[in-house]
Structure 1
Amino acid sequence: MGILSNTTAICQFRVAGDLPAGDLYPWIAENLAKQSFEPIDHNAAEQSTGWVHLDDHRQMSFDVPAAFWRDHHAVFTLRRDQRKLPAALLKAYLQVAEHEHLSANPGLNRVPKQKREELKEAVRVNLLAKTLPVPSAWDAVWDTRTGIISFTSLSAPIIELFEAQFKKTFEGARLVAIHPYARAEALVADELKPSLERANLATSEAAIDLIRSNQWLGWDFLLWLLHRTMTESSEYRVTRPGPALADDRFVAYLNDRLVLMSAGEAGTQKITVAGPQDHFREALTALANGKRITEATLYLEKEENIWKMTLKGELFHFASLKTPKVTVEKGETVDERSEKEAAFYEKMFVLDEGLQLFDSLFATFLELRLGNGWGSELARIEGWLAGE
C-alpha cells in the first residue's frame, strides 16, 4: 500500500543530526543517487536494496527534480529485491549433489564436512541463479519544512531496514521515531511541559524506554476517547497548524474494532471487540476488569470528508489509514506525469489534514490529562465503567 493508495499505513519520524544549511535539494539528490537500487535480475545475488522513484519503481536516477522533488517534499521509495529458496528444495538438490560426489569417489562412505559445505554453497548459488527475485517497495515522504518523514510500513524489520538505509544514505542524519511521548512533547502547551516531564516514567532518553515506560499515554487517550464517544459530544476544534483553518470543527470517535489487553501471572491476555458498536458492552466489561485499550478504529470527520484508521496505541502508528479519495485521471489527452504530480499534492493535502485533526484531538486530550481537570474527568470515567 503506497502513499498514493486510498488506504495505506503510516509511521512517522523526525530527521535529526547534521544537515546542510540552505537548499537541501542537491544534497538529497546526490545521496539518493549514490544509494540507488541496483537490479539483480541478471546475476545470482540474493538481495539488493536501494532507492527508486515513487511513480515508477524501475527508475533509479535522481538527476532531475522531477524524479523526487515536489515543492517542499522529497519523495522516494525503498525497493528491495530478494530471492528466497525453500529449505526443502535446497535439501533435495544437496542430496543429489552428495550422491553424485559419493559415486565419483567410491572410497568414501560419506561426504566430508568441508566438502559438504562447498556443495551446499554451489547448489545454493546455482538455484539462486534460476530463481526470480521478488520485489517489495515502501514509500517515504520527507517534508523538508517540518523535518518529518512519513513511511508506509509498520513492520518492525522493514522499519529497521529503512532506518539503516536512511542513515547509510544521508551521512550525519538520523531518524527519530515520533512515538506517543515524542508527539506529546511537540504538541503540549509550554505551561504544561513541566507536567509532562513529571509524568514521564522513563529513566533515560532512549526511544524504547520512552515508549515502554509511557504506555499510559496511549491507554489513557483511547479510554478518554471511548468515554467521549459514548457519553459526550464527539465534536472538537482544530488547534494545530495545517491545511484546515484554525478553530474549524470536526468530529472524532471510536467504532468498529477495539483491541484490549492485560498482563498478569497467567501471561498477556488479549480480546478483540469487532463490529459496529452501540454500547461497547463487551469492551466496558473488559475495561472494568482491568484491561487496557491498545488499538482501536478511529474516525475523523470534517464536513463531507472522512478519515478512518486503526490507531496503534503503543507507538501511535496509523494502520489501514483511509483518506478521502484521490483519483488519477487517465486518457489519451491527459499528461500522465502532470496528473500524477497533481494527485500527489492532493494526497498530501488530505493526508496532512487528517494528521492535523489527529494532532488537534491528541492536544485536546493532553490539555486535560496534564492539567487540573484530569482528576474529575477520571472520576467520571470510572463511574461510567462501574455503571453509575
Structure 2
Amino acid sequence: MGILANTVSFRQYQVLGDPPAGDPGEWAGPLLAKNAFVPIDSGSEEISSGWVCLDDPQNGSFAERRDFFRPPSLAFTLRRDQRRVPAALLRRHLQKAEEEFLAAHPGLHRVPKDKREELRDTVKGALLARTLPTPSFFDAVWDLERGLLTFTGTSPNIAEIFEGLFRQTFEGLRLVVLHPFARARALLPAKLQPLLEEQNRAATDAVLEQIQENTWLGADFLHWLLAHSVAGRNSFRVRRAGPALMDEAFVAFLDNRLVLAAGPQRVTVAGPQDHYSEARIALDAGKEIAEAGIFMEKGEDAWKTTLKAETFLFGSFKAPGVKPEKDGITDEKSEREAIFYERMHVLAEGLQLFDSLLLAFLEERLAADWPKRREQLQRLLGFEEQ
C-alpha cells in the first residue's frame, strides 16, 4: 500500500549531504525527470525502474512543481515494472526448441552447452515479449527541513534499488537507514550522547555492523514496554516536537502479536493476551522479543504498528483515517494535495508518540541505576533476574 493509505509499511532514512541550493521546486523536477521511469510495455525488456509522480504513476515528466514539491517535502514514487516467465513454461518451450534443434542436426545426441544457453535466451526473450510487465510502486517522502526520508519499500532488494537510484539522481547525497542506534542518537540530548556511545557495541558506523552489534537496543526496548504493559503502566508523555503538544498524555502498550526468538528458533504469540503469559514464559526461557505489535492512543486517535526490534522497520503502520472532503469547488489536484498533508500530519504524530516512548526507555536504560531497574522489570514480569 502507498504512503497515502491508512495502513502502510515503511522504513526511514537520514539524508546526508547538502541538497542543491535554491528552490526545490526548481531543481528537483529536472533531476527526477532525468531518471524517470521508462515504460517497457511494447518491448521485450525484463525490468525497468525509475521515478514517477506520487499521484500519477503514468507521469514521469515532473513538469509541474506541485506534482512533486509539497513544502517542506519532495514526494515521488519508485516504479518498477518486471516481466516474469514461469519456470515451468520456460522449461517446456526450451525442451521443444532443443528437440527441434536436434531434429535439424541428426548427428548430435545432445544440444551443446553454448547452444543450449543461446536457445534459452532466445526462448526467454520470445516469451517475455508476449508477457505484460507487472508494475510495483514504492512511495518516498523526503522532509527537506529535517533531512528525513520515509520510503514504503521494505524488502532489502527494493531498498537497494531505491538507494542506488537516489544516489544517481541526487549526486553528492546519500541515504543512511534509520536503524535503532541511529534513531537513538537522533533522539537523545547532547548530555546523554556519551552514555549511549558507551553502550555502542559496533566498531564502526557501517550500517550492517551497527544493526548486528546493537540488537540489544530493540530487544531491551520491547522487553521494557512489555513489563510496562503487564503492570498496566501505559501512560506516557509527549517528549518530542511535532504535531502533538509537548507533555500531552498518551497511552502505549504491546498489542496482541509478539514474535519471540532464540537464534533461528521463533515462536509467535498472537491473539488476545492474558497477562502476556506465553510471552513471559518464553522470555524466562531465554528468548527475546524480535517483533511486536505496538498500540498508541491519544484522545480519540489511535495508531498501531508491528515493529521489528533489529531494524526498527515499521510494518502495517495504521494511523487515523484521512478522508477527502469534496465541496464541488476545489479541483482534484488540490484535493489530493490536501489529503497528502493530512496524511503526513497523522503519520508524523504517530512517529512523534513512538519517539517519545523510545526516549523514555533510553533515559531509563542509560541511567546509572539500570541494573536495579532491570531487576524491577523482571519482577513485574513475574520472574527473577537470571
Quickly name the TM-score band, shorter chain normalised. Answer: over 0.9
Cα displacement (A) at 1:232? 4.3
Question: Is the partner of 1:43 in helix, strand or coil?
Answer: coil
Look up the equivalent residue of 2:367 and give its one-letter code. G
Question: Is the partner of 1:36 in helix, strand or coil?
Answer: coil
CA-to-aligned-CA distance 1:302-323 (integer Å, 9 cap, x gap): 1100000001111111101000
Aligned position for 2:213: 213
Q: Equivalents in 2 of 1:128, 1:317: separation in Å? A: 35
Match of 2:296 among 274, 296, 300: 300
What does residue range 157-168 of structure 1 map to in structure 2 within 5 Å?
Answer: 157-168=157-168
Q: Equivalents in 2 of 1:119, 1:382: separation in Å? A: 65
Look up the equivalent residue of 2:56 and give its one-letter code. D
Q: Equivalents in 2 of 1:296, 1:26: separation in Å? A: 43
TM-score by length of 2: 0.96
Question: Unpaired segments of 5 or more residues in structure 2?
Answer: none
What does residue range 1-388 of structure 1 map to in structure 2 within 5 Å?
Answer: 1-263=1-263, 268-329=264-325, 335-387=331-383
Asked if the contact 1:74/1:143 (under 8 Å) is kept, the reply is: yes
Q: Equivalents in 1 of 2:189, 2:298: separation in Å? A: 24
Asked if the contact 1:47/1:81 (under 8 Å) is kept, the reply is: yes
Q: Equivalents in 1 of 2:86, 2:293: separation in Å? A: 37
Cα displacement (A) at 1:45? 0.5
Deviates more, 1:111-120 or 1:277-286: 111-120
Question: Unpaired segments of 5 or more residues in structure 1?
Answer: none
Question: Is the partner of 1:378 in helix, strand or coil?
Answer: helix
Q: Equivalents in 2 of 1:253, 1:386: separation in Å? A: 18
CA-to-aligned-CA distance 1:197-243 (integer Å, 9 cap, x gap): 11111111111111111111111111111111121421111111111
Look up the equivalent residue of 1:102 and give its one-letter code. L
Q: Equivalents in 1 of 2:98, 2:215: separation in Å? A: 55
Question: Is the partner of 2:74 in helix, strand or coil?
Answer: strand
Q: Equivalents in 2 of 1:286, 1:102: separation in Å? A: 61
The count of aligned residue pairs is: 384
Q: Equivalents in 1 of 2:296, 2:125: separation in Å? A: 52
Cα displacement (A) at 1:247? 1.0
Q: Equivalents in 1 of 2:276, 2:232: separation in Å? A: 15
Asked if the contact 2:180/2:217 (under 8 Å) is kept, the reply is: yes
Q: Equivalents in 1 of 2:367, 2:124: separation in Å? A: 62
Q: Equivalents in 2 of 1:228, 1:109: separation in Å? A: 73
- Percent sequence identity is 52
C-alpha spacing 1:162/1:9, structure 2 compared with 1 (3 Å): same
Look up the equivalent residue of 2:20 and give its one-letter code. P
CA-to-aligned-CA distance 1:226-272 (integer Å, 9 cap, x gap): 11112142111111111111111111111211111113xxxx22111
Look up the equivalent residue of 1:169 and give its one-letter code. T
TM-score by length of 1: 0.95
Look up the equivalent residue of 2:140 and give its one-letter code. A
Asked if the contact 1:288/1:385 (under 8 Å) is kept, the reply is: no
CA-to-aligned-CA distance 1:17-44 (integer Å, 9 cap, x gap): 3432343333321211110000000111
Look up the equivalent residue of 2:88 and give its one-letter code. A
Deviates more, 1:13-22 or 1:59-68: 13-22
